Amino acid sequence: MQRFDFSHPPFDVLGPAERSRVEQAVDILYFAAEAVILAPGEAVEHMFVVMKGMACERADDGEIVAVFRENDTFDSRALIAGRAGHRIDAHEETLLFAIPKAVVMALIDGNSLFAAFFFQSAAQKFAALAGRGNNRELQTILTASVRDAVVKPAVFLPADATVFDAAVAMRDHKVRSVLVGATDRVGIFTTSDCRDVIINGTPSDTPLDALCRFELITVDIDDYLFDALLIMTRHIIQRVVVTEEGRPVGVLEQIDLLSYFSNHSHLIAQQLEVADSLDALRAVAAQMETLIAMLAGHGVKARELARLMQALNGKLFARAWELIAPDGLFANSCLVVMGSEGRGEQIIKTDQDNALIVRDGYPLDGVMVACEAFSAALADFGYPPCPGRIMVNNPEWVQSQTGFRNMLYRWIYQPDEAAQMKLAIFVDASTVAGDASLLQQAREYLFGIMHDDASYFARFARAVDQFDAPMGRLSQWLGSGRHGAELLDLKKTGIFPIVHGVRAYALESGLDDTNTFDRLTALAAAGRLDGELAHDTAEALSFLLELRLAHGLEAQKLGQKVDTQIDAARLSTLERDLLKDALAVVKRFKTIVRHHFKSGAF
């Protein structure tokens, strides 16, 4: 008899004794093609796992609502309820493992993780699945707080202490920095500062108050280590001051953080900062792909990976633009990224979506030469050109401040379908290089001219139904894709409706946030969106992004083109169950969006 496979949920959480109990009790059943496995209302005495073949669950009207293949589990809901809700039959000759109900119930009573498979809410299951991380039990940086890391206690010196005093204190306490206390502020003096003092010939009796830096970069002791990593990455620094209730209590060094997290993201940021040629940037850009795969393999969630990649991509784009643009243009322009990159929700390299706002009065002659070179450089780094040419090598997306304002005005007051699409893309813009105030002024102008135009917001929000499709109907995927595969477009069916619906709320509310998760939090806090719905929507989006990332990494590994269509047949029972739950949340969210904006009335 073929041995039972314990590597798939929910059996992967069972201990040796529990596995032995399953192996002793499990039976194998054979069903011919089209044979009924469970009839509606039939008492359920076993939980089934597909050994070979395929089974289908059918609604009362005969439509297929779920498909079960090798290693898939069913029907856990019916087992708990006691009777089958739908008919389940064999789509082809099928062999099933059958585990007696008594054994399953005993496992539920004795193993809380196994029980969670049956009783957790959808949101809890989303989090549990994302946290599996290939069954790794090691704590990742996302579950560890700064308090968990090696935070060196702060060594304080008075403001009138000297450079010599600081050197002695750092030696005696074996630290690389000291905090300098003043009457109304606290500064930091590091080994690097000490080195500079020696090189510059500054007397060793110089008071620290005259040399230390008082603009501390801090992280709270209860923040995630990942937040500390992001701060170090953004600022290219080797330490952050740790605060508790607003008071400096310690220093977190880069080496201590990296001992918790075995990746080189901080080193990549440093390489981007010092790269002196486009060739050097190309080499660093290639390292970023390896970093993504490694972190994903360690269980880092897509949501957090996207934040890290936004920081690294931003530095890559900024450095490339700094190398390419003439000095005058760099200082008198604002380079922005839009779409998923602007929202901080893109991980694997995707189409370029960028624009350039040039300060009024700066001559535009020659600007397009630099923009063409920038777009070519990004393509060389692995970021494909945008099919719709929403990028800086298109003059439409390179405008003076006045030109951008005029374009925004046209999008609002001549709102054809193309204009609404362009506005949606621009609303997600964030600055990566140059003068950020130019984008902020454009954003303020946009919110100023929109007023309270219900009809416009209704037309704008209506795009949530642009890719309308039946939710949770696996039958729609059967035989509809390449080579008969069950394909579902995650972006069109799930991700886009959430992103655009939240974007519509954010535009109506005048929110500066661009990240969808941040927007959901802000909308719930302001009472613009029900808190429970905002939470469920965020969890559903997080799960969909996880699936998209896993699919994209697999495609990259196989040398295939990365897209957003997934093969449902390759998902586990738990993943397909959660996917149906996620799409149900999408459906509920879309209904709320339609009702709020009355989009059906326009």
- 343-392 pLDDT, tens digit per residue, is 999 888 888 999 999 999 999 888 999 999 999 999 999 999 999 899 99
The pLDDT tens digits for 435-461 are 999 999 999 999 888 867 778 888 889
- Give yes or no for a contact between 436 and 357, defined as CB atoms under 8 angstroms apart: no
Which residue is it, tokens 């080994």?
A: 191
Amino acid 459: pLDDT: 86
Q: What's the whole-number mean pLDDT along residues 216-234?
A: 85
User: Where residue 299 falls among pLDDT bands split at 50, 70, 90?
Assistant: low
What's the token pair of residue 334?
């604002």
Is residue 259's pLDDT more than 70?
no
Map residue 148 onto helix, strand or coil.
helix
265 band by pLDDT with thresholds 50, 70 and 90 = low
What mean pLDDT do residues 561-586 have? 82
Q: Residues of CATH 3.30.460.10 domain(s) within the chain?
A: 265-451
Token reading at 535: 């939470």
pLDDT at 138 over 70: no
CATH class of the region 11-119: mainly beta
Q: Is the pLDDT of residue 412 over 80?
A: yes
Is residue 434 within 8 Å of 335, Cβ to Cβ?
yes
223 pLDDT tier (thresholds 50, 70, 90): confident
Per-residue model confidence (pLDDT) at position 79: 82
pTM: 0.65
Number of H helices, E strands in the chain: 24, 21
pLDDT at 127: 55
CB 241 within 8 A of CB 155: no
Distances (CA, A) of 14 to 47, 263, 311: 16, 31, 40
In which residue ranges of the chain is CATH 2.60.120.10 found? 11-119
CATH of 146-260, one of 1.10.240.10, 3.10.580.10, 1.10.4030.10, 3.40.640.10: 3.10.580.10
- Give the Cα separation of 23 and 368 in Å (integer): 69
Helix axis angle for 516-525 and 531-557, nearest 10°, is 170
Does residue 515 surpass a pLDDT of 70?
yes
pLDDT in the model for residue 56: 85
Kindly report, as residue ranges, where domains of CATH 3.10.580.10 are found in the chain. Answer: 146-260
- What is the mean predicted confidence (pLDDT) over 422-436? 94
Q: What share of the chain has pLDDT > 90, as a percent?
A: 44
pLDDT average, residue stretch 393-403 = 96
Tell me the backbone φ, ψ of residue 476, rounded to 5 degrees.
-70, -20
Q: And the tokens for 549?
A: 């990332």
Residue 468's pLDDT is 65
With a cut of 90, say whether residue 397 has pLDDT above it.
yes
Residues 187-202, mean pLDDT to the nearest whole number: 88
* pLDDT tens profile 105-123: 999 888 877 876 766 555 5
Do residues 229 and 142 touch, judged by C-beta distance below 8 A? no
DSSP-derived secondary structure for 370-436: HHHHHHHHHHHTT-PPPTT--STTSGGGEEEHHHHHHHHHHHHHS--HHHHHHHHHHHT-EEEEE-H
Amino acid at 579: L
Cα dihedral 466/472/476/477 (nearest 10)? 100
Question: d(Cα 480, Cα 493) in Å, to the nearest integer?
Answer: 15
CA–CA dist 171, 448 (Å, integer): 57
The CA distance from 509 to 526, in Å, is 9
Q: Where in the chain is the domain with CATH 1.20.120?
A: 463-601
> Considering only CA atoms, which of 201, 142, 67, 7 is closest in space to residue 484?
67
Q: Give the single-character DSSP code of 462.
A: G
Question: Which of the listed ranges 79-83, 179-183, 215-219 does the model predict with the highest average pLDDT?
Answer: 215-219
* Nearest CA-CA partner of 354 in 328, 390, 318, 382: 390
Q: Is the pLDDT of residue 136 over 70?
A: no
d(CA 175, CA 188): 12
Cβ distance 456 to 599 under 8 Å? no
Does the domain formed by 463-601 have CATH 1.20.120? yes
Residue 519 CA to residue 525 CA, distance in Å, equals 10
Architecture of domain 265-451: 2-Layer Sandwich (3.30)
